[in-house]
Structure 1
Amino acid sequence: MEPSQASFCHPYQPYDIQLEFMAHLYRCIEDKKVGIFESPTGTGKSLSLICGALTWLRDNERRALDSTLPAEGDDDQDDWLARAESAVRRRELLLAREELEQKLAALREEEARLKQKRFDSRSMKKARTTEGNAQEQPWNDDEFMVEDYNSDEEEMATAQRASTGFSNSTQALLDRLQKPTKEDVEQPEIQRLKIIYCSRTHSQLTQFVNELRRVKPPSSIPSGVELAPGQDLEEGIKHLALGSRKNLCINPNVARLSSTAAINERCLELQKPGTAKEKKCPYLPSKDDRDRVESFRNKAIAQIRDIEDLSHVGKRMDLCPYYASRAAIASAEVLTLPYPLLLQKSAREALGVSVKDDVVIIDEAHNLTDAIADTFSIALRLSQLDQAVQQVTAYASRFKNRLKGKNRVYVTQVIRLLISLTDCLRGVAEKSRTGEVIVTATQLMSGKGVDQIRPHKLLRYLHESKLCHKVESYTDVQKGAEDSNQGRGVLMPFQNFLSVLMNPDDEGRFFVDRQNSDILVRYTLLDPREHFRAIVEEARAVILAGGTMSPMSDYSNYLFPYLEKNRLETFSFGHVIPASHLFAQPVVNGPSNTEFDFTFENRGSERTVLELGNLLCRTCKVVPDGVVVFFPSYEYLAQVVAVWQRLPPARPLMKSLNENKVTFQESKGVSVDELLRDYASAIDSGKGALLLSVVGGKLSEGINFSDKLGRAVIAVGLPFPNANGAEWKAKMKHVEGLRYQQCKREAILPQGQWLAEAKKASRDYYENACMRSVNQSIGRVIRHRNDYAAILMVDRRFATERIRQKLPGWIQGNIGRGVQCWDDIERGLVNFFHTKS
């Protein structure tokens, strides 16, 4: 082990499980593997990810620089040119590194001085605004006309450069040696290998950035090499936060638009060749902005900044941070970005991000499969489609004499396809009055003349012509400013929907359902593996990390089935707390010995509901401070509370609960912030509090019930999704098909067992989805080494080995064998909290 790995640059003295985590992470990256890491929240997972990955990154860079030295004793005269070139290359790399570090150090000093002197007036410039206002200018038809479109052939694209007569290898060498020109304002020549860190939201990424600021990784400069003699030059972490235009746009006329799609389209429209200079975005970097872009790059990576900080840098420089940040990508060591920007190839390409040979870390990865499905799923309402038909028809009527050639053909195709979709939805809804119905792409495209449409060509036309944006802009002007948001943004969802119409039938399904007075068509991705495969195959290593990744079998079976077994590794780490700080127990019977069976058929029993109320009353008497209860759904929680409010008649259970602790209830219309504030206030007052919440609700993920806020968490029943719904039927059938084909292909079982094995696989998949939700909920408590709490899982099924083995390892190891009666569990609770007082 190298010296830099001894503590992995951890800012504190790491716990043993943190050292184990970082060591396994380092080895996974070194060996180019896919790793799944489960480490309970509260164990310093984020810091472990940062320290393990950054230590490897700096070690790798140092080894790469060392490798440029000729081997000792290598005096082969025939290789003198290669050795000389290596020495020159090494010197160039070190000089470039020194120059960059000196610039960044100077910028840090400058920012520190400005902050100390508080010269806000010098650091904050007024945002430059465009001359005039587009809404105040008279409009003319030319603004909304699509340009002539005469070619369909993607294969006939013009060559980027003429043939030079050189061989491919010679031309590649010349390209590599060619000095950058003025036009090369986007990226420096050398791309650093980097860590690409991804999470669900920008707020979670900001938390990661705050942790990143604590870390000082080892130097990447080989020992014996001096940077800037006489100076103590710090090799800071070069971090860059990436976001969408919606996050980074500083043009007020664009940023205020109603949707992300509208912002994207308007931004591209302002860059179009031929656009008058006064109408172009004034913040967009130009070919003459090389020095300003380089300055932005240096300021972006000189400090560890989150997405808001990066936006402020752009505003101070009057330079678009969305585009200018691309210049910093090559020099960055760590990139942070939300799920959608990583998962979509088009988004990565738009940002200029490549995962080739980089390390991809996805945090909160228990959501990954759902995130992939959400990213590539889309829904349309019939009311939207009807508006789209009206808008495109009005546009075609207004410009019918000016639409020629391919433009006329494709606008007609858009109208035909929209009408086909609306007719199909009305027909399906008429035949089926209740529930979801599965339809096919063929049904959706069965309208008159649609069989002559080639969807991929139509989609390409929509992208290149910006027709949807043109039509919507024309519609806005026709309606007037007061109605500009009415019907806005209905064509871009249609354009996105067109792309999923071309997906293979076995990847997803289309569902039609009634919602209030509208009809909804929804495409749901069932098979996420191919949409993530390119990342896995291009990246050096992929790390999935989360507090509750169990059960893990779904990842190997349905996300990475194509990986060789020796390339995928899974790790489940324990908690930082001692075993005596956790009391975990399944509860099969209540105080009156009534069995807890919260299956859908039996959970409505008033006897069971009252038994649950009695259990909570007795639990609240022995558990201090805060108790959090998670129910399978909002509907069932409301049903249970209704029973407690009226039974038993002499003394309703709700009254008894409130006497023990102040009771709060999560509901869809209640503000979570206010609810948590009142809950915490009741606990601080000494009264104690009981919080009734829902698995999959706003309190089941991302909320920390540490210390007094969560001395006990109680899971009521198993929140299985509706297996009779069309979507889950389709998912389970899809899993059955995958497993059946695997059995057939690998002949791992006799043919007579293939169907039974397929059914078992779909049941496992169904249970795993349920248990991931449970594990997320009960993982809300115990957030640091000195914390302690009880976890009660109320349902007879929690005592079965099948369900128990799907719990996180740190909880499984704390549960005793055998079923305990309630009296024994209650005594255990009393003793547990007595030792903590």
Structure 2
Amino acid sequence: MTTPNLFKQWQKRKRKSSLISGSPRPEHSANNGIERRGFTKPESMIYSELLVGGLVVKLPSGLTPYTTQRTMMAKILTSLKNKLNALIESPTGSGKTLGLLSATCAWLVRYKEERKLSKGECRACNKHTVLPVNSMLPGQESNLESWPTSLTDSPEPSNGNSLYSPSVKPILTIEDEFDSDFAASPSSTSVKRSSLFLTELKRSRLEEADGEEKQSHEGHTCLPRVTIYYGTRTHKQISQVVGESARLPYGHDGTIRHTILASREHSCINLAARNSGDVNGKCKELISAAGVGCLYKNSMRGKYEKSGPVRKLVSENLERSSDIWDIEDLVSALKTSSPTLCPYFSSTRVLTQDADIVFCPFSYMLDPMIRDNSDVTLKNAVVILDEAHNVEDVCREAVSFSFTEREIVGARADLCKKAAEVEGALAKVERKQIAQQGLENLDGGRNDRIHDALANLSTNFGTVNKFLDDVLNWFVELASEVAKRRPSRDDRYTETLSWERLYTSLEGAKLTVFAERCKASPYAALLTALGVVAGQSGDEDDRNIDLHNYRPLSMSVVCVEKFLYFFKTYFKEDHRTAYKLFVCIDKPFVPFGSRSRNGDTTEFPADVLDMSTMDEQRRDWLDSRSVLNGYREIKRGYRVTFNFWCMRPALAYMDAFKECRSVILASGTLCPMDTFRSELGTEFHQMMEGSQVIPNDHIFAAVIPSGPTGYPLCGTYRNINSDDRFVREISLLLKSVCEIVPKGVLCFLASYRLLDQIYEFMETAGILRQIQTIKRVLCEPRRSSQMNEIMAQYEEAICNSARYGPQCTGALMFAVFRGKVSEGIDFADDRARCVVSVGIPFPNAMDEQVSEKKKFNDDNCKKMRILTGDEWYTMQAYRALNQALGRCLRHRSDWGAILMVDERLLQRRSNPNAKKVSKWIREQLRPLSVK
């Protein structure tokens, strides 16, 4: 077999002109990390200025933006000025993140100036008087250093144009007030944020107060406050974005303040919580009314409930001089500060007060349960979702819910036992009351208060347990019918209920009563009862009486919360038509009362599931055939799961962003863009497909339609599995590529099954041994925990190839589309001198969720004006293809080859999918024969 001269000549030229002949450069490391010292504050605030659309955009000194960056900034500024949404595709290496940050920060600086002027002209804002310092009471002057602390825009650093002089402190308007998590006032001390349902509970109880507050805003004519929410897919990527932000002057000169929303797992410093195995649960337990408290959170009371002092403390304790920090910096600074403060509550509750830009993972905005528990306020916000190519999937998952048999049974058992303990305690109190009748009241009525508290708790346990009884009965009845069916080949029992059947089923179980959400509705009653049972209601009875021993497990509360959130979404407007229920009974299964190896959080301890200590009246819903003393499993030895699948990502997207000023979706691979408007239910008036900034002679992109023997290469399921010819051709092709291309080679395949198939064939045919003389061969692991080790081996073979043999030139990595390698890992320079894609990665058509999504789109394409099932299916395939191909060519000086193996990818005029390949690849594509 010979390789075409075109590819050989290009490859030789690139090897000679390679800027990186040794190990990969540190700034493009495999984990895409940012050098920690890159956050250091510049010695002088020297920067470049660029005039875009009438606004001055500040950029790092000496930086000349690419044409793609200029276009991106113009699109973003147009969107922000006119309250529009935008889709921005900009290839990796084109400065996408820096462009997003610089343009939005420049716009926000101008907006904040305009807002200050509007507040000066607003009659409602100017009703209040301003007290000069000399009229303040003694001691008030010392509080000036803590300003600004409110939710309103803070005064800018003194530049001669400030609306407030240093000696004047403005009186707060109602707009400036905020709901502090630490406030010691009687109206808020009883309200704890340790449970997800609490936000809605507070809203329902404060509905009248909210109405009064809205009336007080009616007279305002000033511009509303705008916060930028910058979302990334993972916590890890936030550090990279903050690193880019540190290159700009806005954060260093105090013009723009930021914070980061991170989970307790990333920010808790309490050793008792960290060593508990459940950081969230332990933290909530410690800070609850009956808990022992947390020293670090308690240290924040008073002075450090305000953002100004916290920011000052962080700045003083950072290892370097800078006001730009990521979550690791914040944790380190507050861990060594005096006093030591809680990084979690500092970043998520205090620093949000004056933050202009909030960095957080997607889930903090899109998942309703997380959003409600994270103080995320998206009204009038500017939202940026970076790496948003999979935002449709994230949205569907955010409003899809799963429940297992053991989860519901465990919650029911836990709550049943706690209710029995409450009734036992109540009976003792009543006996004591009877014995003391006629006697002088010596306890000041405490016994009566305990009785009333226990009686109230017992009533609310009854409400929650009645709900779980109804749910469990419905669950068992429906699953039992599915279990009677004939199993599939893989020993699974499954059934999918359409939205009509699902609603009818819920109606038959009388669960549709939770559709109403007014104050007197069953939904509100259950919400209130759960708050009382979990100790989060704030009732007066709970304040002086310790009911801690009667609280259910957090996983029991979460189970009921999930149902409340499901009902809230499902019964809203016409949302029920977007849901389907997939019932699955399968193996492997961990027996009731035992702990699964993956640490499933829905596992209940065996003592909770043991109902043998219950009296007969409390065990009437159980029998005696399983480890859960008495509960009859639906199908012994099997796992039973109910999956409520949402088919419309627009439900989550619009629920989160309907009141935003602008939403910007950005990625290196948004193409094809057709699905975003229809699937997300919103218009994107600004769209951009950026060009690659890497010179054309650094890119070799080709489609290989046939193999070395001339056999047509079409990676359909039938062709791959009909015989070994397709696998043989791919094996020979990879051998040829590895002989020519130095350093790292990536090969993306449609599935792990095909990966195993090719690897086994190569091993049997002796081709693997031949490749291993010139490349170390590695495979993407199925488990995420093994990925770091595999990447270390891959990089070692590239940087020190001589250790693996005299002829070794690097490494070959087999990977799968939509896998760990294709998402988020930077294969710059020598890490990927060639990317080979085999086939077109259509989603698994046999997957029930995929098939149901296709059916949903087919049934609703005309009514909802969405893509047909096949169109959606094709878009998913090409987006995954583009994402994988973007792993190489990561910066302007990089170079590499892209080989797309499948005849369906030829750029013929008759090919309806030709333009679904990213523009920067499409412009370079050519056919390549390898015969």
TM-score interval, smaller chain: 0.7 to 0.9
Partner of 1:834: none
Partner of 1:44: 95
2-structure distance, mates of 1:210, 1:709: 22
Among candidates 791, 812, 822, match of residue 930 of structure 2 = 822
Q: How far 1:583 sits from its partner (Å)?
A: 1.0
1-structure distance, mates of 2:248, 2:88: 21
Partner of 1:60: 111
Among candidates 225, 228, 238, match of residue 195 of structure 1 = 228
Moved more, 11-20 or 30-39: 11-20
Partner of 2:694: 577
Query: Residue 399 of structure 1 aligns to a residue in which SS?
Result: helix
2-structure distance, mates of 1:161, 1:446: 34
Partner of 2:588: 516
Specify whether residues 643 and 391 from structure 1 end up closer, same or farther in structure 2 by C-alpha distance, changes over 3 A only.
Answer: same
2-structure distance, mates of 1:685, 1:286: 51
Specify whether residues 737 and 259 from structure 1 end up closer, same or farther in structure 2 by C-alpha distance, changes over 3 A only.
Answer: farther
Specify whether residues 373 and 266 from structure 1 end up closer, same or farther in structure 2 by C-alpha distance, changes over 3 A only.
Answer: farther
Confirm whether residue 335 of structure 1 aligns to residue 355 of structure 2: no
Specify whether residues 451 and 714 from structure 1 end up closer, same or farther in structure 2 by C-alpha distance, changes over 3 A only.
Answer: closer
Confirm whether residue 549 of structure 1 aligns to residue 670 of structure 2: yes
Where does the alignment leave 5 or more consecutive residues of structure 2 unmatched?
A: 1-50, 134-143, 160-194, 196-200, 316-321, 427-454, 515-520, 538-545, 590-638, 802-807
Partner of 2:245: 212
Per-residue CA deviation, residues 158-177 of structure 1 (Å, 9 max, x unaligned), is: 854999xxx997x5599x99
Per-residue CA deviation, residues 529-575 of structure 1 (Å, 9 max, x unaligned), is: 132224433222111111111111110111134x3xxx522111011
2-structure distance, mates of 1:381, 1:355: 33
Specify whether residues 763 and 455 from structure 1 end up closer, same or farther in structure 2 by C-alpha distance, changes over 3 A only.
Answer: farther
Q: How far 1:330 sits from its partner (Å)?
A: 3.5
Among candidates 868, 884, 892, match of residue 777 of structure 1 = 884
Q: How far 1:382 sits from its partner (Å)?
A: 2.2
Query: Residue 713 of structure 1 aligns to a residue in which SS?
Result: strand
Confirm whether residue 320 of structure 1 aligns to residue 342 of structure 2: yes
Q: How far 1:789 sits from its partner (Å)?
A: 0.9
Among candidates 724, 746, 753, match of residue 628 of structure 1 = 746
1-structure distance, mates of 2:712, 2:217: 74
Specify whether residues 288 and 606 from structure 1 end up closer, same or farther in structure 2 by C-alpha distance, changes over 3 A only.
Answer: closer
Partner of 1:295: 309
Contact 2:154/2:354, CA 8 A, preserved across alignment: no
Per-residue CA deviation, residues 144-190 of structure 1 (Å, 9 max, x unaligned), is: xx9xxxxx999787854999xxx997x5599x99xxxxxxxxxxx99
Q: How far 1:20 sits from its partner (Å)?
A: 1.9
Contact 1:265/1:469, CA 8 A, preserved across alignment: no
Moved more, 308-317 or 694-703: 308-317
Specify whether residues 257 and 730 from structure 1 end up closer, same or farther in structure 2 by C-alpha distance, changes over 3 A only.
Answer: farther
Query: Residue 699 of structure 1 aligns to a residue in which SS?
Result: coil
The letter for the 1-side match of 2:695 is P
Count residues in correspondence: 694
Query: Residue 230 of structure 2 aligns to a residue in which SS?
Result: strand
1-structure distance, mates of 2:676, 2:314: 36
Specify whether residues 426 and 308 from structure 1 end up closer, same or farther in structure 2 by C-alpha distance, changes over 3 A only.
Answer: farther
The letter for the 1-side match of 2:648 is D
Specify whether residues 339 and 448 from structure 1 end up closer, same or farther in structure 2 by C-alpha distance, changes over 3 A only.
Answer: closer
Q: Percent identity?
A: 24
Per-residue CA deviation, residues 265-323 of structure 1 (Å, 9 max, x unaligned), is: 536xx344xx4xx7344444699614663411444588222123333444433433444
Confirm whether residue 307 of structure 1 aligns to residue 327 of structure 2: yes
Q: How far 1:255 sits from its partner (Å)?
A: 4.5
After TM superposition, the score normalised by the length of structure 1 is 0.74
Moved more, 253-262 or 609-618: 253-262
Query: Residue 719 of structure 2 aligns to a residue in which SS?
Result: coil
The letter for the 2-side match of 1:196 is Y
Confirm whether residue 672 of structure 1 aligns to residue 780 of structure 2: no
Among candidates 446, 461, 473, match of residue 528 of structure 2 = 461
Q: How far 1:409 sits from its partner (Å)?
A: 3.5
Query: Residue 630 of structure 1 aligns to a residue in which SS?
Result: strand
Partner of 1:437: 495
Contact 2:780/2:813, CA 8 A, preserved across alignment: yes
Specify whether residues 634 and 298 from structure 1 end up closer, same or farther in structure 2 by C-alpha distance, changes over 3 A only.
Answer: same
Contact 2:825/2:887, CA 8 A, preserved across alignment: yes
Partner of 2:646: 525
Query: Residue 370 of structure 1 aligns to a residue in which SS?
Result: helix
Query: Residue 262 of structure 2 aligns to a residue in which SS?
Result: coil
Contact 1:364/1:545, CA 8 A, preserved across alignment: yes
Kindly report which structure 2 residues correspond to 1:102-251, keeping only aligned pairs within 5 A, or say none.
159-160=208-209, 192-217=225-250, 234-251=253-270
Confirm whether residue 806 of structure 1 aligns to residue 806 of structure 2: no
Partner of 1:362: 385
Q: How far 1:354 sits from its partner (Å)?
A: 1.9
Partner of 2:838: 716
Kindly report which structure 2 residues correspond to 1:375-414, keeping only aligned pairs within 5 A, or say none.
375-401=398-424, 402=426, 404-414=458-468
Contact 2:464/2:526, CA 8 A, preserved across alignment: no
Specify whether residues 291 and 597 from structure 1 end up closer, same or farther in structure 2 by C-alpha distance, changes over 3 A only.
Answer: closer
1-structure distance, mates of 2:380, 2:236: 27
Partner of 1:702: 824
Confirm whether residue 506 of structure 1 aligns to residue 577 of structure 2: yes
What CA RMSD, in Å, does the superposition of the two structures yield over aligned residues?
Answer: 4.2
Query: Residue 461 of structure 1 aligns to a residue in which SS?
Result: helix
Specify whether residues 429 and 65 from structure 1 end up closer, same or farther in structure 2 by C-alpha distance, changes over 3 A only.
Answer: same
2-structure distance, mates of 1:544, 1:728: 24
2-structure distance, mates of 1:692, 1:66: 59
Among candidates 698, 702, 725, match of residue 607 of structure 1 = 725
Specify whether residues 300 and 101 from structure 1 end up closer, same or farther in structure 2 by C-alpha distance, changes over 3 A only.
Answer: farther
Confirm whether residue 21 of structure 1 aligns to residue 72 of structure 2: yes
Among candidates 764, 767, 774, match of residue 871 of structure 2 = 764
Specify whether residues 191 and 323 from structure 1 end up closer, same or farther in structure 2 by C-alpha distance, changes over 3 A only.
Answer: farther
Per-residue CA deviation, residues 508-539 of structure 1 (Å, 9 max, x unaligned), is: 22212224232222222211213222443322
Specify whether residues 3 and 519 from structure 1 end up closer, same or farther in structure 2 by C-alpha distance, changes over 3 A only.
Answer: closer
The letter for the 1-side match of 2:713 is F
Specify whether residues 393 and 822 from structure 1 end up closer, same or farther in structure 2 by C-alpha distance, changes over 3 A only.
Answer: same
Contact 2:382/2:661, CA 8 A, preserved across alignment: yes
Q: How far 1:733 sits from its partner (Å)?
A: 1.6
Moved more, 239-248 or 25-34: 239-248
Q: How far 1:351 sits from its partner (Å)?
A: 3.5
Among candidates 902, 905, 918, match of residue 795 of structure 1 = 902
Q: How far 1:445 sits from its partner (Å)?
A: 4.5
Confirm whether residue 592 of structure 1 aligns to residue 646 of structure 2: no
